[in-house]
Amino acid sequence: MTHPALALDDVVHQRVRLALLGAITEGRKVEFTFLRDRLDLTDGNLSRHLQVLEDAGYVRSTKGFEGRRPRTWLSVTPLGRQAYRAEIESLKLIVAEFERRQLG
């Protein structure tokens, strides 16, 4: 039997990207500034993490305008939703194994 940590996705597992996927899955689409403020990130730092998620096919961005203001909205793709669920399940298995060893 392999250790559940081997199933962790290197793209998702980074703490900011894990938090981003969690925040984006809360709604159908989430605005860039909401994510920036919620996770206390700079525009550049958030952009870089979102680019990694987009390159992996986990997040999709849509640009447009709200009134005269440019906006960027993010949504999780089906592949991203699947990767996020798998990451959470792997983390649960890691915790369960730790607890089993502590009690055993």
- pTM beyond 0.85, yes or no: yes
CATH topology of domain 4-103: Arc Repressor Mutant, subunit A (1.10.10)
pLDDT at 104: 65
Residues 33, 9, 47: CA angle, nearest 5 degrees: 25
Residue 28's CB is within 10 A of a number of other CB atoms, namely 9
User: Which stretches of the chain are assigned E, i.e. beta strand?
Assistant: 30-31, 59-66, 69-76
Tokens of 3: 């250790």
pLDDT digits (tens, 9 = 90+) for 23-61: 999 888 999 999 999 999 999 999 999 999 999 999 999
In this predicted structure, what is the pLDDT of residue 4? 86
Do 52 and 11 touch, CB atoms closer than 8 A? yes
User: Taking 90 as the threshold, does the pLDDT of residue 9 lie above it?
Assistant: yes
- pLDDT for the residue 2: 83
Is 80 exceeded by the pLDDT of residue 1? Answer: no
Express each pLDDT in 54-73 by its tens digit.
999 999 999 999 899 999 99
- Round the average pLDDT of the chain to a whole number and report it: 94
The residue type found at 9 is D
User: Which percentage of the chain shows pLDDT scores above 70?
Assistant: 98
